[in-house]
Structure 1
Amino acid sequence: MHIKQLGKEWLHGGGLWINRHSHVRIGLIIFSIVVIIISLVASDRLISKMANEERINMEIWANATQALGSNDMTTALIYLSRIMELNPSIPTIITNSKGEILSYQNIDLPKDPEQSRRLLERKLASFRTGYPPIVMAGLTEPLYLYYSDSNVLRQLQRFPYIQLMVFLLFLGVAIIALISLKKSDQNRIWEGLARETAHQLGTPTSSLMAWKEYLEAMEVDPMITTEMEKDIERLGIIADRFQKIGSTPNLKSEDLHPMLLRALRYMQP
């Protein structure tokens, strides 16, 4: 009865532990989701803000070119190139109304002229699929300024996903740690139950030993005391095994054959 009550108390305590840490895990997951959402929203706003600032810069450069008040396209391109040098991170390409490339900035090209031409054409096609061009009027013919995201902006676009991966890794480690703690606590509960069982087995074992001594003194049938001796030995083995649960094993070399024979004798009725 004592064992049963103790088991209920320990299991109830373990249940409280499990429920408490379940709440911790749920709270941790909710917190993680909130942090991820905040991070994504903040990063998206930052990226949008930078993209708008870059477009404003492009418009400023285009307006500055128009403000020259000159119909000389060569002078306009030189002036625009000087302004573009102030921002070495935004790749740009300037074309005429026919789509011919007149100037480019912040684009690394190979030394071979043919390869450079093909690369510029691919870049121009890529820029056209991105932001709409800025039209620079007021010259002999309109110019079109194509541009793409700067390196900083591209890095910021990748940053939320890197941050998400790192946070998910942290979350996984935290969950694994909580599960390990829960299993460790459950193991301690079962170890305590096993040792308490071994302790409680001492009472019937001692009583059986006393009855054996008493019956031997009464000179009853030796077969009865012999069977009682076997039961006492079995109870002692069981109690010893329960007592050793959770303890550090004592490893030693033994002959396998005698151990198998003892196991067979133990299993025999």
Structure 2
Amino acid sequence: STGEQIITARGIDPAIEKKLNETPQVPFSQAEKKKVDDVLSRMKNEGKVSTIRYMFENRKTYGYIYHGETDVNAIDQLPFVFTDLGKTPQKWQIWGDLIQHKDSNLNQVQQAKQLIRNSTSQDLFVPIQTTPLWETGYFYYQKAPYYGLIIMPIVLTSVFSVFLVLGFAAFRQIKAFEQTAIWCGLAKETAHQLGTPISSLIGWIELLEEQKTAKDDPATNDIHTAMRKDTDRLQSITKRFSRIGSDPSKNKADVNQIIDEAVEYFQKRLPRHSARVKIIVNHGEIPQVTVNQELLQWVLENLIRNSLDAMDKPIGVIEVKSGYEQKKNQIIIEYYDNGKGILRGNQKKIFQPGMTTKKHGWGMGLALVKRIVEEYHKGKIKLVNSNSQGTQFNISLPVERN
């Protein structure tokens, strides 16, 4: 500042700074003037001031000099004309001696004006100005904390944390893909290994069927029929394993019928597990959906088998209900049992490959169930709740719109 005049300012207010940078400066409003005075007073009280020297732009133009083309080899012969602000020649030198206006004749003045016109058209002239003055002023300032030093470590830590989380997520994803590939390979290899003995069993059963025609024994006939059904089932299981990791074929099917087939298989074998386990089926009115029947039946059989293994009540109950949710256009299968439930610590891990609490088994049952429902059929399976009173799963399957 020079006296009470503010030359420039920074960090006060953008509107105030803009007015100071205008030429000429725009006057402040009362509120702006008070704000500047308050800031300046605070800086003065804090003693934040430095004396500076600066060139005050008070130049004044009092004339012009017009000249011809510059030639460094004949600079002393350079023609020129000095004029006043009205461009009236005052002093000039063109071909000979220096001529002043008061000593010139009309012809010499005309020659000077001609040079002015030529120089003007070629932009060969400069204004003659007074020398600017150096002034003494004061630089007031206030130290403010540089928040970049505070924020930058936080930003860097956040960025590093994000990269760390993304890297860990990518690592887990890669491990999950590897684990899935291992299980798919194991399933296909199991199907391949089962294929040979099953084919052999089928051959022996066919041989027995040929021989039983000679002996019409009802008991033998029943045994043959049961053996045939079991070998057919083994073939079906082999097909299921062979389709893991592949894109299975799907057709329109009645989910209620698939539920019945899965339940019927276990109904005949319940005495082996417990004579006091009931399987209740409640069918709702549902539209057909596009599914792979064998794989969806496997899903239900897996859930029933797990329920039978977890049954610890005197009277066991397994209930399967089907229904249609029109708003979301999907079929809902509600599956419930009154077994001992799943421990809270294991509930989030039950769909992970290899997760099992049994002494036997590979721990891939529910992992394959989730894969069949969600990846192959674009549905959803959810553990609704599980405690000592029982467990409930919900399966949703989308219905194709016509």
Higher helix share: 1
Higher strand share goes to which structure? 2
Per the normalisation by structure 2, the TM-score is 0.34
User: TM-score under structure 1 normalisation?
Assistant: 0.48
